[in-house]
């Protein structure tokens, strides 16, 4: 096993990799946690070794430093917990007799706490966490406010849409990518024909296709190339669908795409990733190393926040109707898209705990705190 660590002012992460015949075993996460694990299978040991060399090169290029470990250590051993120095006891401040100064006006770059969004829900005394008392807003610096997810209380500016431009960017992102090739043969039978048709659609520059084809393109766009690292063209598929056929249709595509699993192998001969599709779902749709949710999925928050009341309710009804049909790993996304409905997150968190599902796992970890609201 090889062990790498990355540390700076904001991050404290580890990454491990080992080769077992034609398989690569990986584990990553915050130092001091068990993290997440994944096994990637290849046709032979040579291809697995080449993929390992490439992945190690990518990690060291991003600043990860290799740490010596026991040569007999295997992936699965928990990374050592960082030493935590005891915090200095705060000094008590004298109570002033003078009235406190008025708080400065809140800038436009604010996010209201969940207690404001759900103010119509009665709460027993003491249930509201003290840091959210009275629904006080959280002010964000400009560099963080642009990353904040929109909600209907603070929708921000409505996106400017152009279906043709978004289609061109999407096609370049997939069809003209230097790191994408199709693997139809490895795809499951129920998805293979649609995959072939979707790729031919890109080749023929046909903007319109079936909803199944749109779902395949959406799933691929959430996983392929630069989107894996939150790179360029990350929301073009969502922009295209909304511009071309409207938000309710795009919601239908989003739900249909949640039934697709996108996987890839590294082709050392072609020096590209080969992508294949199946329905063996065990994790969120996005293959991103940075988040369980792709930017294309999270972009729906912006459109839902800017929608008029009638259209928003139509979309909410669609999301709630589709929720029970989704694999459990895909369900938290629906709650994340509807911050105005905290009851959904509350219910999902309770159900996951009752089923014994580890909610600290990638994609579930944000749910338990929502039960406070």
**Hey, how many other C-beta atoms are within 10 angstroms of the C-beta on 38?**
13
Residues 172 and 280 in one domain: yes
Please say whether the dihedral angle defined by the alpha carbons of residues 358, 364, 368 and 369, taken in this order, is positive or negative.
positive
Instruction: Give the pair of three-digit tokens for residue 157.
Output: 């500016």
Which of 43, 67, 91 is where one domain is finished?
67
Residues 58 and 175 in one domain: no
Identify whether 293 is part of a domain: yes
Instruction: Give the pair of three-digit tokens for residue 312.
Output: 């928003």
Closest-CA residue to 137 (of 125, 154, 156, 120): 154
Q: Bridge-partner residues for 13, per DSSP?
A: 6, 30
φ, ψ at 176 (rounded to 5°): -105, 15
Distance in angstroms (rounded) separating the CA atoms of residues 236 and 165: 9
Which pLDDT score is estimated for 136? 60
Which of 67, 88, 118 is where one domain is finished?
67
Identify whether 156 is part of a domain: no
Distance in angstroms (rounded) separating the CA atoms of residues 319 and 330: 12
Render each residue's pLDDT in the chain as its tens digit; 373 residues: 899 998 876 678 888 999 989 888 888 888 888 777 888 888 888 888 888 888 888 788 777 889 988 767 777 544 444 444 444 544 444 434 443 443 344 333 333 333 333 443 444 444 545 555 555 667 778 777 777 889 998 898 899 999 999 999 999 989 988 888 999 999 999 999 999 999 999 999 999 999 999 999 999 999 886 444 444 448 999 999 999 999 999 999 999 999 999 998 888 888 888 999 999 998 889 866 667 888 899 999 999 999 999 999 999 999 999 999 999 989 999 999 999 999 999 898 888 877 777 555 556 666 654 443 3
Distance in angstroms (rounded) separating the CA atoms of residues 175 and 293: 22
Contact predicate 334/310, CB 8 Å: no
Instruction: Print the domain residue range for 172.
Output: 163-355
Instruction: Give the pair of three-digit tokens for residue 366.
Output: 């944000």
Distance in angstroms (rounded) separating the CA atoms of residues 217 and 339: 27
Distance in angstroms (rounded) separating the CA atoms of residues 304 and 313: 9
Residues 53 and 191 in one domain: no
Residues 37 and 170 in one domain: no
Identify whether 106 is part of a domain: no
Burial code (b: 16+ CB inside 10 Å, e: under 16) for 125-147 equals eeebeeebeeeebeeeeeeebee
Which of 49, 67, 85 is where one domain is finished?
67
Distance in angstroms (rounded) separating the CA atoms of residues 276 and 265: 9
| CATH of residue 41 | 2.20.140.10
**Hey, how many other C-beta atoms are within 10 angstroms of the C-beta on 61?**
8
Identify whether 139 is part of a domain: no
**Coil, strand, or helix at residue 3?**
strand
Residue 79 has what DSSP assignment? P
**Coil, strand, or helix at residue 36?**
strand
Residues 167 and 293 in one domain: yes
Strand 261-267 relative to strand 181-182, pairing = unpaired
Number of domains in the chain: 2
Identify whether 344 is part of a domain: yes
Identify whether 77 is part of a domain: no
Contact predicate 4/60, CB 8 Å: yes
Identify whether 363 is part of a domain: no
Residues 281 and 176 in one domain: yes
Closest-CA residue to 304 (of 317, 291, 323, 322): 317
Identify whether 264 is part of a domain: yes
Which residue's entry shows tokens 């579930």? 364
């Amino acid at each position: 096993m090889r062990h790498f660590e990355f540390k700076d002012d904001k991050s404290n992460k580890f990454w491990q990799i080992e080769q077992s015949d034609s398989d690569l075993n990986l584990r990553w996460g915050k130092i001091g946690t068990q993290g997440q694990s994944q096994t990637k299978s290849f046709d032979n040991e040579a291809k697995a070794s080449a993929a390992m060399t490439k992945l190690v090169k990518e990690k060291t290029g991003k600043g990860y430093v290799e740490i010596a470990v026991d040569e007999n250590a295997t992936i699965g051993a928990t990374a050592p917990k960082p030493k935590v120095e005891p915090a200095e006891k705060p000094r008590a401040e004298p109570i002033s007799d003078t009235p406190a100064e008025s708080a400065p006006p809140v800038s436009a770059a604010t996010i209201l706490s969940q207690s404001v969004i759900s103010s119509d829900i009665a709460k027993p005394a003491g249930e509201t966490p003290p840091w959210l008392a009275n629904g006080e807003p959280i002010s964000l610096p400009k560099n963080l406010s642009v990353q904040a997810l929109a909600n209907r209380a603070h929708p921000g500016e409505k996106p400017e849409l152009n279906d043709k431009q978004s289609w061109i960017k999407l096609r370049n992102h997939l069809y003209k990518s230097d790191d994408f090739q199709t693997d139809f043969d490895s795809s499951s039978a129920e998805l293979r024909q649609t995959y072939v048709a979707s790729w031919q659609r890109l080749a023929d520059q046909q903007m319109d296709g079936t909803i199944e084809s749109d779902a395949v393109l959406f799933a691929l766009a959430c996983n392929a190339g630069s989107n894996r690292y939150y790179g360029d063209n990350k929301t073009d598929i969502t922009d295209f669908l909304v511009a071309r056929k409207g938000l309710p249709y795009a919601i239908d595509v989003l739900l249909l795409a949640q039934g697709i699993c996108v996987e890839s192998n590294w082709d050392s001969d072609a020096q590209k990733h080969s992508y294949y599709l199946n329905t063996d779902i065990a994790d969120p749709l996005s293959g991103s190393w940075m988040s369980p949710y792709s930017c294309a999925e999270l972009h729906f928050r912006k459109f839902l926040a800017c929608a008029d009341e009638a259209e928003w309710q139509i979309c909410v009804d669609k999301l709630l109707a589709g929720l029970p049909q989704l694999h459990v790993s895909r369900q938290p996304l629906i709650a994340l898209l509807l911050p105005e409905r905290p009851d959904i997150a509350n219910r999902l968190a309770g159900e996951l705990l009752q089923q014994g599902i580890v909610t600290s796992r990638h994609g579930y970890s944000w749910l338990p705190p929502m039960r406070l609201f």
